[in-house]
Amino acid sequence: MKIKNALVGNFLEFLVIITFIAFLILRISPNTTSDNDISRLAGIISVARYGELNIDQTVQKVTGDRVEYAGKKYSSKPPALNVLIGLIVKGISSVKPAWLQNDIAIYRLSTLIITVTPLIFLFMLFKYLLERILSVPSFKALFFSLFLVLGTLIFTFSSSLNNHILIAFLQLVLFKQLVLNFPKTKLDGLIIGLLCGAIFAVDITYGVVVVPLSFIFLYTKNKFKDLNLFFYVLLGSVPLVGFHLILSYIQFHTIIPPQLLPEIYLSYPNSKWIGDVTGMLALNHPIALRLFNYTFGSYGLFLYQPILLLPFLNKTNWKNKVWIYAVSITFGYILFNAIMQPDYGGSSFGPRRFLPLIPMLYWFVVKDFFAVWKDKYNASRFLAILLLCLTIGISILGYLNPWQNWNYFNGTERYFYFPLVFTVRKMLGWSII
């Protein structure tokens, strides 16, 4: 009987996973939804179809997320991922050359590679870690892993072309390699270095926070007892970081991100970045207000993902170096965005730039969830259920309206730009809230 039950359980689990994967693939958006993915698509098409870094031959060259230099237009996204995906798309299109002339086919294929595939791997890795590290039973691990990818903001942006879910997966792998399986060998060092290099090359803004803090964590554990390990970490980071810097220099004759030099690279006619700026860029909020909006305010991580508050309430976590590492990355990145990113992520629903933080913080959510679940009359148990339900509801709202929030902005609402409120209003058909 036990064997029979196990076989039935395994079959049901397999069926759920296959259905989940098919669902993710079938719901890939056929069209671009914002300047963000239009810019990335332009870079990929230019490499795949024309073999060029500039996007002048693409119809997407008019995107607001672009850089101009020496009379040519470029995607504003870090070039390494655009080039790599462009080459992969070109290779796959050799099977059916017509795909290479079809922008929709390139968009869907690129989204499958950059967004959906990392999401599937993220789900599988998280489930594996729950079973192996926390000894969570298989079916419960399946539930919590499905919640991660279907019940959080990760699901909101899982059908469009973006780099956030890929970074979320890379961050979880780094978390596993650096923290859960502490590195000891040269190979461990190379893998950690490669992951740090990949994070930096795919998302510079996240990389400049995560990479130094990961090195600091490695130092606090290792105390530089094995200098060879640090050498191999640095060595592993060179290929992708070097690739990014070379591409950046070829395009812009500088290795500094062009967005930091707006008078040179963003001062073109009708630029949304300088001059008479509009939308979120016109807010010009002070740093203190940005910090609030990035945590609990209009684009607050903990407003949109309240389940992530749970581990902050556990006093024992604050004695754990692993938790301190995760919190340092979280608030370090929030502070970085408050200083460097005044637009809160543009027209997106919620803090899309913080997606990479979710799996790492959610790891502690699951760990603490079982601790508070033991006593059915424990107030923390009811709080956890409440936060879980709120997170699911908010994430579903985001899925229904992930990118169309820019229209809500106008001059009279400059200090009340609230995508969550706008989306609720839109879904209910209300004209005024």
Lowest average pLDDT, out of 9-23, 186-200, 311-325, goes to 9-23
**Residue 413: its pLDDT value, please?**
47
- Give yes or no for residue 235 having a pLDDT over 90: yes
Closest listed residue to residue 154, CA positions, set 338, 301, 335, 339:
301
Average confidence (pLDDT) over 170-188: 88
Lowest average pLDDT, out of 177-191, 192-206, 238-252, goes to 177-191
Q: Please indicate whether residue 284 or residue 63 has the higher confidence score (pLDDT).
A: 63
Lowest average pLDDT, out of 226-230, 316-320, 333-337, goes to 226-230
Average confidence (pLDDT) over 98-116: 94
Distance in Å from the first CA to the final CA of the chain: 58
> CA-to-CA distance for 162 and 111, rounded, in angstroms?
8
Residue type, 300: G
When pLDDT is cut at 50, 70 and 90, the band that residue 349 belongs to is confident
Q: Please indicate whether residue 124 or residue 276 has the higher confidence score (pLDDT).
A: 124
| Highest mean predicted confidence (pLDDT) among 28-32, 63-67, 246-250, 420-424 | 246-250
Lowest average pLDDT, out of 206-210, 289-293, 327-331, 425-429, goes to 425-429
**Residue 375: its pLDDT value, please?**
57
Q: Please indicate whether residue 368 or residue 433 has the higher confidence score (pLDDT).
A: 368
Query: How high is the mean pLDDT of the chain?
Result: 86
When pLDDT is cut at 50, 70 and 90, the band that residue 433 belongs to is very low
The upper half-sphere exposure of residue 104, i.e. CA atoms within 13 Å in the direction of its Cβ, equals: 4
Residues 29, 32, 36: CA angle, nearest 5 degrees:
120
Q: 74 - beta bridge partners?
A: 67
What tens digit of pLDDT does each residue of 252-284 get? 999 988 888 888 888 888 887 777 666 666 677
**Residue 373: its pLDDT value, please?**
59
Closest listed residue to residue 368, CA positions, set 180, 122, 136, 173:
136
CA 48 to each of CA 62, 153, 322: distance values in angstroms, whole numbers, following the listed order: 19, 30, 41
**Residue 422: its pLDDT value, please?**
67
What tens digit of pLDDT does each residue of 353-377 get? 999 999 999 999 998 877 665 555 5
> CA-to-CA distance for 35 and 225, rounded, in angstroms?
48
As given in the structure block, the two tokens for residue 79 are: 């070039």
When pLDDT is cut at 50, 70 and 90, the band that residue 429 belongs to is low
Q: Is 336 in a helix, a strand, or coil?
A: helix
As given in the structure block, the two tokens for residue 19 are: 């259905």
pTM comes to: 0.91
Backbone angles phi, psi at 75, to 5 degrees: -65, 145
What tens digit of pLDDT does each residue of 74-106 get? 999 999 999 999 999 999 999 999 999 999 999
**Residue 431: its pLDDT value, please?**
45
When pLDDT is cut at 50, 70 and 90, the band that residue 329 belongs to is very high
What tens digit of pLDDT does each residue of 36-48 get? 899 999 999 999 9
Q: Is 243 in a helix, a strand, or coil?
A: helix
Closest listed residue to residue 292, CA positions, set 328, 337, 358:
337
**Residue 412: its pLDDT value, please?**
41
